[in-house]
Amino acid sequence: MQTKKNIKLLVSLISIIVLIIIFFVFSTSKNNTSVDKGIFQILNLEKIDHIVLHSSTQEVDLKFDGTKWLVNGQEADRQMIKVLFAALKQIEAKRPVATSIQDSVSKEISKSGVKISCFEGNVLSKEFWSKGNQKETYFQLVDGVPYLVTIPGYRVYLASVFEMPSNDWRNKVVFNFNWQNIKDLEVVFPGDPKQSFKASFQNKLFSIENISVTDTTKLDVFMNALFQLRAERILTESQGKSYDSLLSQKPIETITIQDIGNRTYELKIFPLQKRNAIVIGKRNEEVIELSPQVLREVFRKKDYFKGQSQ
């Protein structure tokens, strides 16, 4: 009698185990097949030539004009465009957000997320929303549910790529043209006027005026540094106002360049402030942040360029 009871218990136990295994396999299979990892990827990504990033605070309009990318009509930073396309290419959906929080996450995405619209010509190829924090990024198709997304192998704040201020997308090269197209250059040191100088083409050779022998090697290094100079950040008008007091002072150096098309480019460099790791400059009417390290080769006075016979 006891043996029969034991057999029944064993059969019942085996049945329960089998049901658990079947349920687990079914659930796992269902989850694996229901997630399309490429749901947010774009077919023919290389043909996308217009991307709009729209949020409640700004609109970033990225457009390829046939030769270069523009952001809101100004030349874009090529490296940032590469980062954007790399993110769009590698993004994968991990899983839908839990049903219990889908509505709240979806509302938050619509309220404070970024709408990403990708075009091929005038045709909308893909449109979705992005929102995230330091730990997680969510994407959502216009009529879909929010998904947790990732780039395999990377632990990055993915949503930050789409949330950058419009100025951060801009080309940060200060003098953005070939220096072979320069007509003349003037460097002024208001605190040391005798060390100010002008440079122009003399007998087809670009050299410092009023110096009988110019050290052309030093001048080449200076010009290369000048035309490789990049801003750390281009400030908005409101951000620039925080430096009004500094900008009202005399600059320590003013560089003015005129090109062969008679266009003028000006950079004013202001004194480094205590407890501040950056230098403030003014390029034409825009306030920019510069690294003190990259300014070393640019802060050169007239005597530096004198040849040995001087």
Q: What is the mean pLDDT for each group of 10 consecutive residues in the chain (310 residues)? A: 51 54 49 74 94 96 97 96 95 93 92 96 96 90 92 82 95 88 95 96 88 92 94 94 95 96 95 88 95 93 84
Residue type, position 130, single letter: S
Kindly list the domain boundaries of the chain, sorted by start residue.
Answer: 45-166, 179-305
Q: Would you tell me how many other CB atoms lie within 10 Å of the CB of residue 129?
A: 21
For 92-250, strand residue ranges (E) read 92-96, 114-120, 123-132, 137-141, 147-150, 182-188, 197-202, 205-208, 233-234
Question: What residues contact 224, with CB distance under 8 A and at least 6 apart?
Answer: 179
Residue type, position 155, single letter: R
pLDDT of residue 30: 44
pLDDT of residue 274: 80
Return the closest-CA partner of residue 186 out of 296, 122, 268.
Answer: 268
Q: What is the chain's Cα-based Rg?
A: 30
pLDDT of residue 29: 43
Distance in angstroms (rounded) separating the CA atoms of residues 149 and 108: 16
pLDDT of residue 22: 54
pLDDT of residue 156: 74
User: Which residues is 118 bridged to in the sheet?
Assistant: 51, 126
The structure tokens listed for 212 are 């009988």
